[in-house]
Chains A and B, each alone.
Chain A
Amino acid sequence: MRKISILVIFAFFLLGCKQKPVIHPTFYYWKTDYRNKPAETAYLNQFKSKSLYVRIMDVDFKPDVQQAAPVSPIKFSDPAPSGIAIIPVVFIVNNVFNKIDSQQTGILASRIAKFVDDKVKQAGKQNYTELQIDCDWTKTTRASYFKFLKELKANPLLKHKAVSVTLRLHQVKNVVSSGIPPVEKAMLMCYNMGNLRKYGEQNSILDQHEMNLYLKDFLAQYPLQLDVALPIFEWAVVFRNQEYAGISKHISKTVLQNPKLFRQRGNTILFDLLVDYPTAGLKKDDVVRWEEISASNLSTTAKFLSRYLKPEERNLVFYHLDTDLLKHFTHDDFQKIIAYL
C-alpha cells in the first residue's frame, strides 16, 4: 500500500510539473558591416546558439528608377562565425507593396532569393535553411505581400528552405484585417510597440500595457508557430516643443547623467536639456526620452508571454547583437529570461 501511494504521489509530481519547452536563444545581427567581435561571438557560444539572424538588406521603392531596390546591403568584412548557421533576414518597407503591381511581386521574390543566396555565400556559408521576411504589412498591402510570400516560397532557390515572417503585436490582435501570412512560422516582435513619436513618459520600446492590450486575449489563439524577439537596445528620443525631432546618435546614458547638461524629471525617463548642445545638434529646452530595457523588464515580458504561448520549442532572439548593448546584461540575466519564457 505504502509503495503504491509513493508511486502515485511521485506520478502526480511528475505529471503536475509543467513540461518546460526547449528555448533556443540567439541574436539578430543588424549592422551593415559584419565583423566578428570576440565578445559578441562569445555570447553566441555561451548560448550554444545554432543560428544567427542576420539582416541582409532593406528593400525600398526607389522613385527615380520606379522599382524596388536593395538599400544598404550587408558587407561581410569577416566571414560569419563557424559552427553557426545564418538565418538571413530581409526588411521590406511596407510602401513597396503599395507601389508594385501583381506582375512585379514575382520578380521581386526571385531577385531577393538570388541576392540573399549570393550574400550567404559571401558570408562563407554554403547554404541556409530559413529565410525571414520582415515587413510591417497593412490591410491595403496584405494581398500583394501574401502573394509575394507565396511566390518566394515557390522559388527554386528556396526549395527545402523555410520562409518565416515577422509579426507585430497589432497583427496578432487584428487577425481578421491583417490576415495570417502563408508561412509556417512567425517571429513575434516584442518591441517598438508604443508610439515613438508621441510626446510622453511612455517607453515606446517595451510597454506592458500595450502588450496586454494586443496580446492578452489574442496571442494564445494565433495559429502559426511562433518565435519571440526581445529588445536589448536603447536610444535617446528627442522632442522639441513637444514635437518629435528624431533619435539622437550623440546621446548616451552617460551624457544624460551630466548635471551640467541634463536634469531628469522626477522618476520619469524624460530629461530636460539645460543648455544648447551643438555636438548633438540640440538646443536648450529640448527634451530627451531615454528608452532602455532592463533585465527585469525582459523577465516580466518573458513571464507574460509564457502564459499565452503554446508549450513548444521556439527561438528566442535578442535584438540586437552589439558589444555595447551586451554590457548592460550579465549572462545570468539572460538565463533567467530564457527560463521564464
Chain B
Amino acid sequence: MTFKKLSLISSVFLLTFFGEIAVNIACGGEIDPYDYYISYFHNNIEGDEYAPFAFNEMVYLNSEEDVESEPDINSREWAKYLNIKKEDVLKVMYKADSATSVKLANFDGNLSQLPDSLQQNSFIQALSKRKAPLKYYLFAKSCEPLANVEFSLWDAAPRDTAAMAAKANEGLKLTADEKDDFLKLRYAYQSARMFHFGGYHAESKSTYEKYIKPSKLNSAVKGWGLALYAGSTRRLGNPEESAFLFSKVFASNPERRVQAYKNYYYNSTPVNGALKYAKTDNEKANIWAINGFGNADSGIESIQKVYQYEPKSQLNGTLLVREVNKLEQDLIEANDIAKIAYNYYFSDNGGSKYKDSLKAVNLKHLNEIRNFAVKLATEKKYPQPELGTLTAAYLSWMENKDFMAANYLAILKPDKLPERLRDQYRITDLLIKAKNIKKGSPFNENDLLPNLKWLDEKRFAENKTQPNGQYYDYGGGAEKRFSRTTRNFYQQILAPAYLSLGDTSKAALAMVKGDIGYKTLKENSLFQNMSYQTIAFWQKNLSPKSMQGLAVYKTKAAGNDVTALLASALNQLKNDDFYELYGTTYLRTHQYDKAVQMFAKVSADYKYFAPENWYGDESNSKLYANPFIETINDYPKQYVAAKTSVTKKAFAAEMLRLQKLLVSDKKNAATYYYKMANAVYQTGYYGNSWFLISYDWSSYDNSAPAKFVYDGDYKKAQTAKAWYLKARSLSTNPDFKAKCTFMLAKCLQKQIIMNAHPLSFSYYDKTDVKWKNFIKANYNNPYFIELRLNYNKTPYYQVAAGDCSYLRDFIAAKSRK
C-alpha cells in the first residue's frame, strides 16, 4: 500500500470515525465504551482465558482485571504447603484491616496476641506451631511498609532506598540459610523485590538468577520473580530482552497477564525485537499474540503467525473474534432511522469517493479474515473448529452475501455446539433470516419467533432488576451482550425493514421492543423507558396514520406471532404518552376535532411538557404557551405564567371552536381565520408555543431543511400564511387587511431565512456577499411592497413601521428613491 493511499485512507477513516463519534456525542450522552458501534458477534464466544484483550478501541484494555486472582493463587499454594484451608490464608494475608495487620506484624506465635476471630484461623494456628514459616511470614510483613507506598506525583519524600537495600540483603541471607524450598523461593522473591523497588537492578537480577530461576518448585512465585527480572532488564537498558521476558510472564501467569502485557508495551520495541530471543513455538506465538492484541488495525499477520506456531491455543480464537469485532466497527453502518444526525456538519466533502476506497480496504480485510476462518475450520487443529465456520457465516452476512452465509451455517450442527457458539449460531441464523423481510418476499416473519423469544429470555436474564432511576438505561456494562444484540436487532434490522415495507407503525413498535430490557417495569411511562433514538423516531416521524396503525397493533398483543411479541412490549407501557403524541400528530395536521378526542384519553393528572426557562429563576423555571396573541416582533418571545397557559388540550379545543365558527358564523370568518393564523404562527420556531407541536427546539432548527411533517408550521409558517391570505381575502377593512399583509410578510420571512442558509455565513460580516443578499431579500419582501403600495394610509401601517425595523428601513430606502 503506497504512503499516499495509506494517508488518504487513514485520514478519511479518522474523519468518519471521529465524525461519527462526534455526532453520537452531540446527539446522545457520553460514549459507552462497550456500546459504541453496532455489534452482533459476542466478544467472548471463544472462551474467557484472554477476556481483558477483547477488541475495544475506546479503552486501553477491555478489562483491567486478570482472569485469575493472585491472592487466590498464593493462598492456595500456602494452603497446600501447610495443609490448611485456603480461605483462612486469604483472610489473613489479603483481607486483614490495618489494625489487625499491625498485630500480625508483631505476632510471635502466641495466639492470645490476636483477636478471637483469628485465633481459630487455621493459617494462624499453623504459623503458631511451625517456626520456619512464621519466621518467613514475619520477614514478609517487615517488607510491607517499604513496598506498600502509595504513589503520588507530588509526594516529595523519596523512596527509602537504603532501607530497601538493607532489607534485601537481610532477605538474601535468609534465602541462603533456608533449606525448605517453598520458603526459600519466597525469601528470594522478597529480596529481589526489595532490590527492584530500591533501584538496585543488577542485584535484583542476580537474585533471580541464583535462587528463583533454578527452583524446582512449580509455583506462581517463579513467574512473579520473572516479572521483576524483566522489569530490571528494562531499567538496565535492554528493552527487547525485557519485552521477551514479559511475554514469558504473559504466557505462564494468568494472574499477571495484564501487567505483563502493559510492561511489554512500555518497552516500545517492534515485534522482531522480542522475537530475537524466542526459541520455542510457544514463545513466538505469545509474542505475536501480544502484538495482535495491541493492534487496532488488521491483525491478519499476527493471527496467521500465532496459528502457525500454536494452532491449539485459545489465543487464536481471541484474535479471530477481535478481527470480527473490528470489521463490525468498520463495516456496519448505524441506521439513522430517526433522522437525528446533523447532516451539515459532515456533508460530502467529495466524500463518496473516499468512502468507497475505505470500504474496499475493509472488504479486503474481511476476505482475509474469512479465508483464515475457513482454514481454521477445515484443518481442525484448533479445538473448536466450528468457530471458524460460524465466523465465515457471519462475515458473509455482513458482506450481504446471504446465500453464502446460509451455506456456511448449514454446515454446523447447533445441538453439538458448545453453549456460546450455539448462542452465536442462533443470532447469526436470526440475522440471515431477517434479511428476507422485504418487498415481494414470501418470507413469513413468524419463522423468527422462536429465536426472538429466546433472545428476550437472554436479555431479561442480564437485566434482572430495574434501577430506581427514571432514565432509560442504556444497557451499559461489558457483560450485557445479549441486551445490546437484542436492541440492535430490533432497532437496526427489524425496524428499518418494516419501514422499507412501508409499515411505519410496525417500525415504531420494533423500536420500542428494542428498548425494553426488563421483564417487569417499575416506572412504566412510555417515553421514560425509551432511548433517544426511539423517542426521536416516535415524536418526529409518526403521523396520525401511523398512530392509528399502532392503536390497531396494540389490540393484537394476544396472538402467538411476531406482531403480538412487539405489541405486548408496547402494552407494558402506560397509554398517556401514547395518546398525548397521538393528539399532537393531529394538531400538526390541523385536525382539531380528532386531537380533542385523543387528549381526552390522557389522564387528568398528566404533566404536559413545558420547556425549561434557562434564564429564569426558581419560580420561573418553565415556559408556558400563549398562542393566541398578536405580535409585531417575534423577539422577545412572550410567554405566560402557568395559570394562564394554554395546554395542548385547551389549544385543540379552542382551535376546534374557531374552526366550527368558520362555518356557523361566516360573516366573521376573516377574524377567525386571523386568530387561527396567529395561533399556528406561534407554534412555529419563532413563536412562544412551539412545544404544542414540537418536542424540542434548537437554535439551529431554522437553518436546517424541513424534514418532518410539522416543519411546515414549525419552520416555514405555511399554514399561517394560507390562513392569513384567507383572512385578508374575506375582509373589506383596509386596516385589517394591512395587518394580514404584514403578518404575511413575517411568514414569508421565515422562508427567506431558510433559503439563505444562515449557517453558511457570519451574520456580522457585512462584506460577505451572502450577507448582503440575505439583507436584500429581507428588504425586498413582496408583502412589504404590497403594504406600502396599498395600505400606507392605514393606522396599522404606522404602528408596524414604528415597531418593525425591517419595514422601517424598507420604507426609508424606497422613499429615498
Contacts and interface: CB of A to CB of B under 8 A. Distances in A.
Interface stretch (B149-157, B240-248, B454-462, B510-518): B149-157
Contacts of A118: 156-157
A111 B154 CA distance: 7
B158 A75 contact: yes
B232 to A, nearest CB: 21
Contacts, number: 22
A122 B156 CA distance: 9
Max count, chain A CB within 10 A of own CB: residue among B154, B157, B158: B154
B153 A69 contact: yes
A10 interface: no
Interface in A153-207: none
Contacts of B157: 118, 122
A39 B154 CA distance: 33
A310 interface: no
A69 B154 contact: yes
Contacts of A69: 153-154
A81 interface: no
A221 interface: no
Contacts of B156: 73, 114-115, 117-119, 122
B164 to A, nearest CB: 15
Interface in A99-115: 111, 114-115
16 contacts: A62-B153, A65-B153, A67-B153, A70-B154, A73-B156, A75-B158, A111-B154, A114-B156, A115-B154, A115-B156, A117-B156, A118-B156, A118-B157, A122-B156, A122-B157, A122-B158
Nearest to B157: A118
Interface string A68-86: 0110010100000000000
Contacts of A114: 154, 156
A111 B153 CA distance: 10
B547 to A, nearest CB: 49
Nearest to A62: B153
A96 B157 CA distance: 23
A98 to B, nearest CB: 19
Contacts of A122: 156-158
Contacts of A75: 158
Interface residues of A, number: 14
Interface string B151-170: 00110111000000000000
Q: Which of B153, B156, B157, B158 has the most CB of A within 10 A?
A: B156
A203 to B, nearest CB: 35
A70 B157 CA distance: 12
A340 B156 CA distance: 40
B59 to A, nearest CB: 15
Nearest to B156: A118
Interface in A236-263: none
Contacts of A119: 156
A65 B154 CA distance: 13
Interface string B581-619: 000000000000000000000000000000000000000
Interface string A310-332: 00000000000000000000000
A59 to B, nearest CB: 10
Nearest to B154: A111
A106 B135 CA distance: 50
A263 B402 CA distance: 77
Interface in B172-194: none
A114 B156 CA distance: 8
B720 to A, nearest CB: 47
B815 to A, nearest CB: 51
A248 B464 CA distance: 67
A57 to B, nearest CB: 9
Interface string A54-67: 00000000100101
A119 to B, nearest CB: 5
List 7 tightest A-B contacts by C-beta distance, closest first: A118-B156, A69-B153, A115-B156, A111-B154, A119-B156, A75-B158, A115-B154
A326 B157 CA distance: 31
B404 to A, nearest CB: 46
Contacts of A111: 154
Contacts of A115: 154, 156
A118 B152 CA distance: 14
Given A69-B154, A70-B153, 8 more contacts: A65-B153, A67-B153, A114-B154, A114-B156, A115-B156, A117-B156, A118-B157, A122-B158
A97 B278 CA distance: 47
Contacts of A73: 156, 158
B814 to A, nearest CB: 51
A118 B158 CA distance: 10
A62 B154 CA distance: 13
Nearest to A75: B158
Nearest to A112: B154
Interface string B35-65: 0000000000000000000000000000000
Contacts of A67: 153
A158 B290 CA distance: 51
Contacts of B158: 73, 75, 122
A54 B130 CA distance: 54
Contacts of B153: 62, 65, 67, 69-70
B768 to A, nearest CB: 30
Interface string B762-776: 000000000000000
B396 to A, nearest CB: 42
A65 B152 CA distance: 12
Nearest to A122: B156
A114 B155 CA distance: 9
A18 to B, nearest CB: 46
Nearest to A68: B153
A73 B156 CA distance: 8
A118 B153 CA distance: 14
Contacts of B154: 69-70, 111, 114-115
A242 to B, nearest CB: 29
A274 to B, nearest CB: 31
A115 B152 CA distance: 11
Interface string B134-158: 0000000000000000000110111
A125 B157 CA distance: 15
Nearest to B153: A69
A237 B157 CA distance: 36
A70 B153 CA distance: 7
Interface in A113-165: 114-115, 117-119, 122
A114 B157 CA distance: 11
Interface string A212-227: 0000000000000000
B812 to A, nearest CB: 46
Interface in B202-216: none
A54 to B, nearest CB: 14
B61 to A, nearest CB: 15
